[in-house]
Structure 1
């Protein structure tokens, strides 16, 4: 099984979210997930949501980690991609359901909808929030449906 593990330190500035998205897209392309693959778009959106949450809700730097595995045997579409963001706040994530006209509050709801798995764990004096997506042809299995959520991968 081939595994690529990379990490990026993200500053406390919300402008860092764009840099994290570009870094993730580049890392995915380098590990065999082309930029035009719907999987890349979904993963970049998940990176954006998790990094935004870390930076906005803690006001402190964070560490973005990405692990891409091929599932063994050289299969290009097997395995999974794991995105993880560690911050120095011990406060656990608090998923909520935003009202229809709210400008924010949908991040973890979107992560829950798009990821195959997600969770969090204590790490050092803070926590790490992670999500995983299996590397399968999402169109062949029907893709994800996030009812009531409008979103766009940028």
Structure 2
């Protein structure tokens, strides 16, 4: 699945709505921590493409089928700029500069590759039905703990 993005900040909201609309058929519930993390990652990567490149981009999303209990969700944003993504150090009340730090902290893996005259930035989230150990199931914004009678409990931080 892919969505073409114009170099316009309004496209970030459209990209989030598009990604949310794709979750239902994948078996990922909208209120699942993985969904919330995925939407935040879409927002960060599309914002970076729109703000820092000034060129059109393509958002690609690879979601598991509705029956998959364990799988990987992959998000990619390809743009026409050859400039490498550079994590910045935001300080105090800075209103930007934290995007790649968020991606690094929330995704299980991320990276980028040169592609023609542009680049592709990607990240992956592992989805699992039940974590084998605390914190093993990605897409959760907080550590995962074994819960009552086999249910996972999520600690809000």
Question: TM-score with structure 2 length normalisation?
Answer: 0.81
Alignment of 1:96-135 (within 5 A): 96-135=88-127
CA 1:112–1:57: 2 relative to 1, 3 Å: same
Q: Give the aligned length.
A: 138
Higher relative contact order (Cα pairs below 8 Å, separated by 6+ residues): 1
Aligned to 1:9: 4
When Rg is computed on C-alpha atoms for both structures, the one with the higher figure is 2
Name stretches of at least 5 consecutive residues in structure 2 with no aligned partner: 143-157
Name stretches of at least 5 consecutive residues in structure 1 with no aligned partner: 1-5, 146-154
Which of 18, 22, 30 in structure 1 is aligned with 2:25? 30
Contact conserved, 1:39 with 1:138, CA < 8 A, in 2?
no
Aligned to 1:64: 59
Q: What RMSD in Å do the two structures reach over aligned CA positions?
A: 2.0
Separation in 2, partners of 1:141, 1:90: 39
For 1:61-112, what per-residue CA distance to the aligned partner results, in whole angstroms no more than 9, with x for missing partners?
Answer: 1000001235xxx853201000000000000000122102111000000000
Runs of 4+ in structure 1 deviating by more than 3 angstroms, as ranges, are 137-145
